[in-house]
Amino acid sequence: MAKRSVCFVGDELMLGLRDPEGFGWPQRLTRAERDHGHAIVNYVLGVEGDTTRDVARRWRAEAEVRLAGLPAAALVFCFGVNDQASDAGGVRVALPDSLYAAEAMVADAASWRAAFWVGPPPVLASGILQAGRQGQSLIYDPVRVRGLSQGFAAAAARCGVPYLDLCGVLGERYARALAQGNGVVPAADGQAAIADAVGAWKPWRDWLDKNTAPNLYFA
């Protein structure tokens, strides 16, 4: 039996805030993999409202507590939507700053553990308002989010880390779930759509299936 431990690191899109079951996409992905015989221990390290810079400040300490000494462990990153939100002061994190912080963080992670980079999912439309961490209104722009994802893809290539462009693979199913949510955080089926996309992603499958024995840990 090969037990695998995975830290999912990111923002509120991991937390299932608009899912009645309280399941974000990492929990749904883990449940599906367990159902298929994989023994996974998952740690969801998502924080509502976090930007790339916020994630970069905390990820290492949080992951080390959970993964230190474990031979079969990985980090799955998904962040960035909040970078490109704007408030009265403008865009929260300028694009060059997002790219610099993200590349440095993921390169560091990849030198320590298996690392996977899942890009920010699309938002429904510009002009959507959501309460920020300090109670301010934030405006999310789909064009900026897609541009950030393209920049992240290039950064991932430089790091040699596999990158999943959610803006490119999520379609009408996710758009419907966004409409049922708040346009930024989707309803439950949107979380399921992300889980399905990651679950079908070849780099994830290759890592998970390598040297995997039947699931006895969760029997």
Count of residues for the chain? 219
pLDDT at 133: 54
State the pLDDT at residue 22.
Answer: 82
**Residue 121 host element (H or E):** none
**Residue 217 confidence (pLDDT):** 35
Stretches in the chain below the pLDDT threshold 70: 1, 125-136, 211-219
What pTM did the predictor assign? 0.91
Contact between 100 and 32 (Cβ < 8 Å): no
Q: What percent of the chain has pLDDT over 90?
A: 73
pLDDT score at 149: 98
